[in-house]
Amino acid sequence: MKKSIGIFDSGLGGLTVLKVLSQKFPNESFCYLGDIARLPYGNKSPETIRKYGVQILKFLKDQNVKALIIACNSASTVFLGEHEFEGIPLLNVIEPGSKEALRVSADKKIAVLGTSATIRSHAYEKTLKRLDSSSVVIEQACPLFVPLVEEGIVDDPITEMVAERYLSEIKKDKIKTVILGCTHYPVLKSDLAKTLGPDVVLVESGEVLSEQLQALFKSGVILKEVDNSRQIRVCITDLTDHFERLAQKLMNPEPIGQLEKVVL
Ligand code: DGL
């Protein structure tokens, strides 16, 4: 039986990652889990986030997966340094995101935007400093961004006002590399770019994860599918019309089938 790639987020933000991966790997099947019933993770304790994460990884493992991806920065903070789960390769967004930011940054001054949980953990700062001790890291929690995305308030004066508030220090410090340390934030890319200006590089999780996945294929740790009879499943732990519409919008133009409501 064909094996798929398991991927999860606290909600629908991780679909920004699924979209990129599904476009880069057109023969691969994916099984996505959005834990909408318990969103947000960003204001929860590390113990609770870890408990939810383990539950979801077990659920995805039961779906016949060959790799597991944590497409949620808040959840990635509690699985840092863990590269497999019960024998299955496990990827998180923080280590590859940090490497990519250091690669593209000329002055090694890097800002990290994230949920309160991600920023409170200092996972990016610790990882960036471990990789390059000369790097200067500024962290900024942006707790209002996730609800704005979940409500579809994008390309909107309200979002720009909020961005202006959160990003003022980063602008003042003339930081040119900004990690979008939450998988919801790529949806706000145009609002953020407008606020920060065109010469600021925004580092996204989807892109960096596709390189990590490519490396797993190349090294033969997991095998590539050769035919194109793939399936993309999007499972969520709560289902309303609102989520159905939002999921279509986030994945557009990639088609997705009906959302599946699952119990963990
Ligand atoms: N998408 C999650 C992340 O990347 C944030 C959403 C939440 O707070 O649950 O951190």
Q: Is 142 a catalytic residue?
A: no
Q: Cis omega (within 30 of 0) on the bond before 143?
A: no
pLDDT tens digits, residue range 166-209?
999 999 999 999 999 999 999 999 999 999 999 999 999 888 89
Greatest alpha-carbon pair distance for the chain in Å reads 54
Tell me what pLDDT residue 196 has. 96
> Is residue 34 lining ligand 1, measured as CB closer than 6 Å?
no
Q: How many A from CA of 187 to the centre of ligand 1?
A: 13
Nearest to 11 by CA among 74, 61, 98, 57: 74
pLDDT at 106 over 90: yes
The count of C-alpha atoms lying within 13 angstroms of the C-alpha of 260, restricted to the half-sphere facing its C-beta, is 11
The C-alpha atoms of residue 244 and residue 197 are separated, in whole angstroms, by: 33
- State if residue 182 touches ligand 1 by the CB under 6 angstroms criterion: yes
Per-position b or e across 29-52, b if 16+ CB within 10 A of its CB: bbbbbbbbebbbbbebeeeebeeb
- Measure the CA dihedral 241/148/8/101, to 10°: 150
d(CA 76, CA 81): 10
pLDDT of residue 7: 98
Is the CB of 91 inside a 6 Å radius of any atom of ligand 1?
no
Prior bond of 186 cis (ω within 30°): no
Instruction: Work out the average pLDDT over 145-163.
Output: 91
Please name the helix (run of DSSP H) or strand (run of DSSP E) that holds residue 27, with its range, or none.
Answer: none
72 is catalytic: yes
Q: Pick from 140, 150, 184 the residue to mutate for probing ligand 1's pocket: most ligand atoms within 8 Å of its CB.
A: 184
| Per-residue pLDDT at 45 | 95
In this prediction, residue 2 has a pLDDT band, given cuts at 50, 70 and 90, of: confident
Is the pLDDT reported for residue 256 higher than 90?
no
11 lines ligand 1 (CB under 6 A): yes
Q: Is the pLDDT of residue 1 over 80?
A: no
Note the pLDDT of residue 172: 95
Q: What is the dihedral of CA 112, 249, 19, 255, to 10 degrees?
A: 180
* Confidence category of residue 62, pLDDT binned at 50, 70, 90: very high
Q: Which of 31, 72, 142, 235 is catalytic?
A: 72
Record the tokens describing residue 173, joined without a space: 């410090």
pLDDT at position 20 is 92
Domains in the chain with CATH codes: 4-92+206-261 (3.40.50.1860), 95-205 (3.40.50.1860)
Average model confidence (pLDDT) for the chain? 94
Give the whole-angstrom CA distance, residue 33 versus residue 156.
Answer: 28
